[in-house]
Amino acid sequence: MAERILIASDHAGFELKEKLEQALIAFGYDVQDLGTNSAESADYADYAHPVARKVSAGEAQRGVLLCGTGLGMSYTANRYPHVRAAVAWNPEIAKLAREHNDANVLVVPARFVTEAQGVEILRTWLDTPFEGGRHARRVDKIEKTDLET
């Protein structure tokens, strides 16, 4: 059974979202598109919340969000427990986000990458496993809600 990947964007990320969705399907993933469905102005939080909520609850292992800078989507998604949303503007950042931080939500800054770059960032993120080891200890600390270490 193919892994389900959630994907969503605001208006600024709509065009690239459509391209990345097709790439995900071509890569063999089961894609659930949570909107937006046009390039008309839309608020990023309206699309980040459903993706982050489902990843947080374990309904999906991973998600992809797109907006102009990636920042609004990441701010919103990272409010949820167990969500590690990483803005990646090149494949190296996507690789490190997975290897070192076990990023389970990729956030693409659609106004700052080309379609080809977006697909390469996505592919790198999908194909890179979490390294674990010393990084697992650090990721565990992300979940702490108190200041004790």
Tell me if 33 sits within 8 A of 129, measured CB to CB: no
Q: Is 67 a catalytic residue?
A: yes
For residue 70, the one-letter residue type is G
Please, which contacts does 139-143 make with residues 24 or more away whose CB atoms are closer than 8 Å?
139/84, 139/101, 139/102, 142/84, 143/81, 143/82
Specify the amino acid at residue 25. Answer: I
Indicate if 49 belongs to the active site: no
**The one catalytic residue among 11, 49, 67, 82:** 67
Catalytic option among 11, 49, 82, 100: 100
What lies within 8 Å, CB to CB, of 39 at 6+ separation is 11, 14, 15
- Please say whether the dihedral angle defined by the alpha carbons of residues 44, 47, 50 and 51, taken in this order, is positive or negative: negative
Residues annotated catalytic, as ranges: 67, 100
